[in-house]
């Protein structure tokens, strides 16, 4: 398998301009394991590059003064994923605040897929990006690259998704106990043709689950559970307490929690010989865990676009347009 971590590092290092520390913004404190895999992959890549994280923020904890205090100069990294647009308002709002508050700092948007439901919102983002003095946009597939090049007058590059840096970091299982597990999304990105398709009764079918003892949390270590409590307290505290909390402790706890969530989610997939899914990161994580993978498209074709950019020559990774055509 391609060393994606090395490939990502070769793209990021020139953009960092010799700086050895960064801020990393838009922490994913929620049940969608794929976003934690992106954060975990980002942390592993930055470690590989010898880059320190001085400040992190989630949309409920971001304070411009805190960022300036903990990271007075140098690049600000925005976590990657599929939220560059207007369909996830919390992430979109925080991105706009960072761009506005730090108009003269280098800002690097880590690999994203672009999705705007409104031409007005797309135009507003174009104006905001072009008003910034040093914004670089990384995208993870060619569909988004075409949108960016057409809509934004800013530096844009194609780059692998940050979760693809996790090869060798996720658990594997060479003795599967079931032929297939299906992870089917149950949110606004589901392709309408996939909603009602029925798999055979003996095929496990689920989505990333809420974090409780029956599902992902059962795989967490004691350290992971402590880190969860630290992150919960950080996010639930007032702005005054945010600024007084040890950033070194928060960075360590948040990074460990993202790792625990990613590994816990991966372990849900390990009993299968093959994974069928319309969640992009379930597919990426399963492939990093050396599984046979069939990825099915979501509502706006980001899955097929990522597949065509990076996995089309991988004989253990294939694409289907619907669940019906995946079996």
- The pLDDT tens digits of the residues spanning 160-200 come to 999 999 999 999 998 999 999 999 988 777 777 777 788 88
* In contact, 323 and 192? CB cutoff 8 Å: no
Residue 322 lies in a domain: no
What confidence tens digit (pLDDT) does each residue in 124-133 have? 999 999 999 9
- Token digits of residue 227: 């880190």
Residue 317 lies in a domain: no
What confidence tens digit (pLDDT) does each residue in 270-282 have? 999 999 999 999 9
- Token digits of residue 34: 């794929």
Q: Is the pLDDT of residue 327 over 80?
A: no
How far CA 18 is from CA of 72, 121, 140, 207, in Å, comes to 15, 34, 24, 41
What confidence tens digit (pLDDT) does each residue in 21-51 have? 999 999 999 999 999 999 999 999 999 999 9
Which is nearest to 109 in space by CA: 64, 159, 67, 34?
159
Which is nearest to 135 in space by CA: 72, 75, 50?
75
Residue 162 lies in a domain: yes
Q: Is the pLDDT of residue 74 over 80?
A: yes
Domain count, the chain: 1
Residue 252 lies in a domain: no
CA dihedral (61, 67, 69, 75) in degrees, to 10, reads 160
Rounded Cα gap, residues 98 and 76, in angstroms:
9
Q: Is the pLDDT of residue 60 over 90?
A: yes
Residue 128 lies in a domain: yes
Q: Which residues pair with 77 in a beta bridge?
A: 24, 108
* In contact, 12 and 108? CB cutoff 8 Å: yes
What confidence tens digit (pLDDT) does each residue in 147-166 have? 999 999 999 999 999 999 99
* In contact, 76 and 46? CB cutoff 8 Å: no
Residue 296 lies in a domain: no
Query: CA 317, 193, 112, 282 torsion: positive or negative?
Result: negative
Rounded Cα gap, residues 101 and 73, in angstroms:
13
What confidence tens digit (pLDDT) does each residue in 12-29 have? 999 999 999 999 999 999
Question: Range of 84's domain?
Answer: 4-166
Task: Please state, rounded to an integer, the average pLDDT across all residues of the chain.
Answer: 93
pLDDT score recorded for residue 244:
67
Q: Which residues pair with 317 in a beta bridge?
A: 293
Q: Is the pLDDT of residue 245 over 90?
A: no
Residue 269 lies in a domain: no
85: region left, alpha or beta (phi > 0 left; psi from -120 to 50 alpha): left
Residue 246 lies in a domain: no
Q: pLDDT-derived band of residue 241, with 50, 70 and 90 as boundaries?
A: low
CATH number, domain of 68, equals 3.40.50
């Amino acid at each position: 398998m391609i060393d994606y971590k090395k490939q990502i590092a070769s793209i990021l290092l020139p953009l960092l301009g010799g700086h050895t520390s960064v801020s990393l913004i838009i922490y994913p404190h929620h049940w969608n394991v794929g976003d934690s895999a992106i954060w975990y992959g980002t942390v592993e890549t930055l470690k590989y590059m010898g880059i320190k994280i001085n400040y992190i923020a989630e949309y409920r904890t971001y304070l411009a003064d805190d960022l300036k205090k903990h990271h007075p100069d140098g690049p600000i990294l925005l976590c990657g994923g599929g939220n560059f647009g207007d369909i996830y308002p919390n992430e979109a709002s925080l991105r706009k605040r960072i761009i506005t508050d730090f108009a003269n700092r280098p800002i690097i948007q880590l690999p994203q897929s672009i999705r705007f439901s409104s031409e007005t919102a797309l135009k507003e983002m174009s104006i905001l990006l072009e008003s910034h003095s040093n914004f670089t946009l990384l995208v993870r597939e060619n569909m988004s690259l075409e949108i960016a090049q057409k809509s934004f007058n800013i530096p844009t590059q194609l780059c692998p998704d940050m979760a693809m840096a996790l090869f060798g970091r996720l658990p594997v299982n060479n003795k599967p106990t079931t032929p297939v597990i299906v992870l089917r999304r149950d949110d606004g990105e589901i392709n309408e043709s996939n909603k009602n398709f029925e798999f055979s009764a003996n095929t496990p079918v689920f989505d990333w689950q809420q974090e409780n003892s029956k599902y992902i949390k059962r795989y967490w270590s004691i350290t992971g559970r402590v880190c969860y409590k630290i992150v919960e307290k950080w996010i639930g505290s007032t702005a005054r307490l945010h600024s007084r909390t040890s950033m070194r402790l928060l960075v360590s706890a948040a990074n460990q929690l993202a790792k625990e969530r990613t590994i816990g989610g991966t372990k849900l997939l390990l009993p299968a010989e093959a994974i069928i899914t319309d969640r992009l990161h379930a597919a990426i994580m399963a492939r990093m865990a050396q599984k046979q993978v069939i990825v099915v498209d979501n509502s706006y074709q980001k899955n097929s676009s990522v597949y065509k950019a990076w996995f089309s020559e991988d004989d253990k990774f294939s694409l289907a347009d619907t669940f019906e055509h995946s079996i």
